[in-house]
Amino acid sequence: MKKVFGAMLCVLLVSAIGLGQAKADRNVKKGQDQQKARIAGGYGCGSDPILPTDGSSVQDYIGAGPNYYLLHLQRNHSYAVDMWDPADSFIGGSGQLVLLSSPGCGSTLATRDFVNSDPNLSNDFADRISWIQAEDGDAVLQVNNLDPSDFYTYVVRITDTTLQANYWTTNGGMAAEFIFTNNTEQTLAGTLTVKDLTAGGIDYNVHVSVPAESQTTEVVAATGMASTGLQVPANHIGRALFAFHGAAGGIMVEGYTITAVDVPITPIKFEAKYSPH
């Protein structure tokens, strides 16, 4: 009987040791996973790691937070930042993206929230913001955890959503026609900037609003050829940018060189600077 009791006691002790070791191993693994996940965000606003604006996805980890990333931004370009949690099976809180001035992180910069817009990121540890950059410069992206009692793994990316065409012309009575297609269920708007290279890079701007799941047309023509649209000098050439508020891919643009009677002559390639990865 003593032998049986001793054997049972040994089994219980080994089991307890095994459970304790397993728990310790899980804690070590959790710490290792957290360290692996933190490959980008800085803990303090200052010398923050750079987040590239080409749509590359970065996986990171946040507890009480916040995390910080440095962004290099261009004038007249639009940007969208997406953040979501692809890993955790239980989401008890939400995340928040904030754009701050750099250097110093002393002020909050204006952005628009699109977390509920297509493609919808709501009901997750997620957020999406978008803005049009007024000048060349840097900014800091701050990621906040609105559930500081828990930890989250998340993916974050910033995409330069600017659409660009490298050539348009008003030579020989020609004009450019741009057709904007809204791929979402919300009205989206932006700014078409036509750069006149013949005149040394002068910018002409027009606001463009595109209703949900619809199209809008904008004509760039010489004064006297068209009574509506964006008026530019005759016999000039240039390039064009379209910057808009919304998620990457929310608006697509097709372009054509046309005659005075709206006959398409050649297509104008209008595409995103980068595509999300």
The mean pLDDT value for 203-209 works out to 94
Cα dihedral 163, 174, 209, 254, rounded to 10, equals: -40
Quote the pLDDT of residue 270: 76
pLDDT of 39 over the 60 cut: no
- Give the end of a domain, one of 107, 133, 159: 159
The mean pLDDT value for 27-55 works out to 64
How deeply is 151 buried, as exposed, middle or buried, from its count of CB atoms within 10 A (0-12, 13-18, 19+)? middle
Domain range for 233 is 163-272
71 falls within a domain: yes
- Give the end of a domain, one of 159, 190, 225: 159
Statement to judge: residues 145 and 175 lie in one domain: no
37 falls within a domain: no
Query: 29 falls in which pLDDT band (50, 70, 90)?
Result: very low
Residues in the chain: 277
86 falls within a domain: yes
Quote the pLDDT of residue 227: 60
- Order of strands, edge to edge, in the sheet holding 112-113? 58-62, 152-160, 78-84, 127-132, 112-113
Q: What is the CATH number of the domain that holds 214?
A: 2.60.290
Q: Return the percentage of the chain with pLDDT > 90, whole number.
A: 55
Statement to judge: residues 141 and 184 lie in one domain: no
Quote the pLDDT of residue 173: 86
Distance of CA 246 to the CA centre of its chain: 9
Quote the pLDDT of residue 127: 95
Statement to judge: residues 139 and 234 lie in one domain: no
Statement to judge: residues 125 and 78 lie in one domain: yes
Interatomic CA distance for residues 32 and 229, integer angstroms? 58
Q: What pLDDT digit, counting tens, does each position of 125-179 carry?
A: 999 999 999 999 999 999 999 987 888 899 999 999 999 999 899 998 899 999 9
Quote the pLDDT of residue 276: 53
Quote the pLDDT of residue 27: 42
Q: What is the CATH number of the domain that holds 107?
A: 2.60.120.380
141 falls within a domain: yes
171 falls within a domain: yes
185 falls within a domain: yes
Statement to judge: residues 87 and 178 lie in one domain: no
277 falls within a domain: no
Helix, strand, or coil here: 5?
helix
Q: What pLDDT digit, counting tens, does each position of 55-112 carry?
A: 999 999 998 879 999 999 999 999 999 999 988 777 777 899 999 998 888 899 999 9
Statement to judge: residues 200 and 124 lie in one domain: no
8 vs 268 pLDDT, higher one:
268
69 falls within a domain: yes
What pTM value is reported for the model? Answer: 0.81
**What's the total number of domains in the chain?**
2
Quote the pLDDT of residue 226: 62
Query: 262 falls in which pLDDT band (50, 70, 90)?
Result: low
pLDDT of 24 over the 50 cut: no
Statement to judge: residues 149 and 222 lie in one domain: no
Statement to judge: residues 152 and 118 lie in one domain: yes
Quote the pLDDT of residue 228: 66
For the chain, give the mean pLDDT: 83
- Give the end of a domain, one of 124, 159, 194: 159
The mean pLDDT value for 188-212 works out to 95
pLDDT of 17 over the 50 cut: no
Q: Are 193 and 204 in contact (CB under 8 A)?
A: yes
